Structure 1
């Protein structure tokens, strides 16, 4: 009864509460999930309008007083995919839960009427306390025309720079879902079984991958529209050139609402994907976690969210409970308050870097005695490498380009060099004749995250030589395309004369690998009621964009943990 009613009143009520209507009929939500999303989205809108860092549903509920009594049955650190699953499933189980997020809540428009800035016009909203943007494509024709000087601010994207590798991460309520391209890819079952030999693949593909896809709002572009849209000429060019080389391409599902995008193209709604928004956030269309899992979690009435709260340390008390040291920061990055928050069940979902750093600090300082050497190990880039090709003058890729990828070259079954390469946009607003790719390769190399005791900062043992398997695989694929189409590489896009950008990644994985640093369901070994629920669990590679796998794995683990550990059934 409630679902049909919500679908009738949604187009009227939703824009008033939180902007454009976020549903598509492609993937229906369960009635209770939809109802909770409405309540949670209303709470988020209320908090943004009131300038609150604490969000709860109902939105007018008073937050608990701070101080020694600031204790919760469960605390979730972070608000990315695994963390959001934990928040929702704990809230549904009636467990009073606190979510701590170091970034801000992104749903209030700035002076220009936009929540997020465009890629071609970045401002302080773009990056996390940087003075200059650090975009993956940093030049064009070797000219420094991409990055901009900006004022330091808690922007939505961060680039964490290590000596030989940089890692892009999202900052804000919703984590990486705010800044990724939304490509919702389920890995091949064969490769999943290789990566996770101890996980029941049948159960994952029968139950948890479908559950994740439904809750995330995964949908696919209409093939006919994709085949004629002016904004996807670049994708069709990449597809045709791959086919000329005898390679296969696939349509890739997404969490961006393609129905909304079609309306963007017709001029019926405000533009986002067709206005050059993605790596610094999307104002409209994208079903980021703050509009799906996290909104539904708030709608249970059992979940509270605190943004601009950075967890610095965790320790275990004699009674087995956990205490977190938390800094509350302002938009200048200054600490405005320090809190200690206690809990019985602690879920770490701060991402591969954040979760591992917290555990390494706790291990090295003795705050969590007994953590093993497995913490920090098994880190990888998901084989990420970026490259671009120069097309002929008679084969343009289009001045107008959607920022949301919809096609990929799928050569993962290649027995020598498996590659899954996204056909990526270059939405510069001018004709560039560039075909850009983010290649995901099967790189067996692994790094190790560690804590530098002199600085108390996270470090990464990873060398440039370890990138070579990824470059070799990507080059093997793109060489075939170049030969078949008599094209060449672009050498002017990455700030120097490289054809392959192998010094940054979008998909950091590992550090707390499932079955090694944890048991088979994410319980940290030696520490009861302490859990890892994010990409740290994946041993460096999953073969495709990882967020659907992270979400599905978290669904599987939380089903067991909530039933056995939290509710004690």
Structure 2
């Protein structure tokens, strides 16, 4: 079964995946809808709808595999005329996943009502970990940069069987096309909200760096409508960390997910939070979910079963589920390496004041450019032109950097007292080399641009790119099959070996998933 392509694109553009599901299954109240919505067994079940889960759903659907995608978060609409999400300047309950107090760099702690918001911030030992919570996963809350790691670091991090030439020729281009990633157009770059981007390039150039444009999944037509004041302001005023409700981001709800639902073989159920996984005596996997209302109230629990289970809940939650299942004995055969090899991707943020040059009054959130430093500092480093929303109206420029750190790793373990899975052995010294490298770059830029001063960004060690725990080639084979548990797959950031190799990880996560699914479909498992 399929749906007219024009209808699919129209529904996706309006953010109505529920409408697309009804178009495929039959409307609410129909016999077909009732039969579909009451089912609890599927051939394949995908946990999570982020970059890995969306790829898995599409490729399973196109292969004709009966598939359910469960997502703990809400489906958020595109609203061209009104604000959907909260922001640094207008805190709402939609921002955080069941928190009582906000927690975000440069945001003053503010009481909020616990609710299924778009961002989970988990206070782990020595590190805050942030991850998306909603249909589309991290694509709702990330800043759109879609870049591949340099070849030398990819080859240093991954097993020889993963050939960079294959990714550069096939998998990276496939994902870029699917996501619609492009560089910032010249007219947008010239506009006032991106004065800070042009200044950033000037300052890096004076410091001897070569900046280059970065592919992004922002929708430049929506950004232009913001500039013309015909759409609610979001991307152009530095608000994207908690979603752009006007459609300024081309999230997975506009690409992989609607295409998956349109196959007629995939169902998507939002507000279904997986609480545990295991295996029944008949060999089927069991997945226990907690069903939530949009406001956060618990409606009840459901147990789904499946023959093939795809873990794509994001690094933090895939590790939580798998480590708990292993340690409780719910899933026999899981390797001891599950939960090991975690890293923070070397994430660091630095800020500099530049009071001698007007920065435009507000700073747009799409990242225009970056610069790579392979040997200049303690660790290789990709620096990107960035924004901290709390600073966007101030005369300050922000750099976000990701270092190639192959040494510092952590482990997820079950707490024997509570049974909760936590990051057990992370400390500030594991982020220290990345911090020194980022600070050295900032000092160099300040030294090359008279009149600038450092700005202290007071925040606990923080990552928006948690990676590892189920490392490819160690916990899984090269197509994400978990060693020792037939029918179990991992297809999210957990596969990456704690570091993306000097890049934002979204492109690599999706490319690994595309390659894995091609092999899984071809081998029928």
TM-score by length of 1: 0.85
Partner of 1:135: 104
**Residues 244 and 282 of structure 1: is their aligned pair in 2 closer, same or farther, counting only changes over 3 Å?**
same
Q: Matched residues in 2 for 1:80 and 1:453: separation?
A: 31
Q: Matched residues in 2 for 1:429 and 1:511: separation?
A: 34
| Structural mapping, 1:448-467, within 5 Å | 448-460=411-423, 461-467=425-431
Query: 1:74, 1:95 within 8 Å by CA — same for their partners in 2?
Result: yes
Partner of 2:33: 62
Q: Matched residues in 2 for 1:70 and 1:470: separation?
A: 46
Q: Matched residues in 1 for 2:209 and 2:3: separation?
A: 44
1:426 deviates by 4.1
Query: 2:340, 2:411 within 8 Å by CA — same for their partners in 1?
Result: yes
**Residues 238 and 87 of structure 1: is their aligned pair in 2 closer, same or farther, counting only changes over 3 Å?**
same
Partner of 1:41: 12
1:43 deviates by 10
| Counterpart pick for 2:446 among 482, 485, 489 | 482
1:71 aligns with 2:30: no
Partner of 2:320: 357
| Structural mapping, 1:62-461, within 5 Å | 62-64=33-35, 70-107=40-77, 113-138=82-107, 146-198=108-160, 199-222=162-185, 224-283=186-245, 284-391=247-354, 393-412=355-374, 414=376, 416-427=378-389, 431-443=393-405, 444-460=407-423, 461=425
Q: Matched residues in 2 for 1:429 and 1:355: separation?
A: 33
Equivalenced residues, count:
514
1:400 deviates by 2.2
Query: 1:375, 1:512 within 8 Å by CA — same for their partners in 2?
Result: yes
1:268-312 per-position Cα deviation (integer Å, ceiling 9, x unaligned): 444431244201101122111111111111111111111111111
Query: 1:234, 1:435 within 8 Å by CA — same for their partners in 2?
Result: yes
1:131 deviates by 2.2
1:402 deviates by 1.0
Query: 1:39, 1:298 within 8 Å by CA — same for their partners in 2?
Result: no
**Residues 303 and 383 of structure 1: is their aligned pair in 2 closer, same or farther, counting only changes over 3 Å?**
same
1:471 aligns with 2:449: no
The alignment partner of 1:206 has SS state of helix
1:315 deviates by 1.4
1:431 deviates by 4.1
1:407 deviates by 1.6
Query: 2:377, 2:441 within 8 Å by CA — same for their partners in 1?
Result: no
Q: Matched residues in 1 for 2:447 and 2:460: separation?
A: 22
1:508-534 per-position Cα deviation (integer Å, ceiling 9, x unaligned): 000000011111110000111110000
1:260 deviates by 2.9
Q: Where does the alignment leave 5 or more consecutive residues of structure 1 unmatched?
A: 1-30, 139-145, 495-500
Partner of 2:504: 545
1:46 deviates by 7.1
What's the RMSD between the two structures over aligned residues?
2.5
1:515-559 per-position Cα deviation (integer Å, ceiling 9, x unaligned): 111111100001111100000000011111100110011000000
Q: Where does the alignment leave 5 or more consecutive residues of structure 2 unmatched?
A: none
Q: Matched residues in 1 for 2:46 and 2:220: separation?
A: 32
Query: 1:181, 1:278 within 8 Å by CA — same for their partners in 2?
Result: yes
1:502 deviates by 6.1
**Residues 55 and 382 of structure 1: is their aligned pair in 2 closer, same or farther, counting only changes over 3 Å?**
farther
Q: Matched residues in 2 for 1:450 and 1:270: separation?
A: 44
1:80-112 per-position Cα deviation (integer Å, ceiling 9, x unaligned): 1000000010011111110001111111769x9
Query: Please, which moves more after superposition, 248-257 or 452-461?
Result: 452-461
Q: Matched residues in 1 for 2:372 and 2:4: separation?
A: 34
**Residues 194 and 64 of structure 1: is their aligned pair in 2 closer, same or farther, counting only changes over 3 Å?**
farther
**Residues 236 and 417 of structure 1: is their aligned pair in 2 closer, same or farther, counting only changes over 3 Å?**
same
Query: 1:35, 1:299 within 8 Å by CA — same for their partners in 2?
Result: no
Q: Matched residues in 2 for 1:381 and 1:234: separation?
A: 27
The alignment partner of 1:555 has SS state of helix
Partner of 1:526: 484
1:225 deviates by 2.0
The alignment partner of 1:242 has SS state of helix
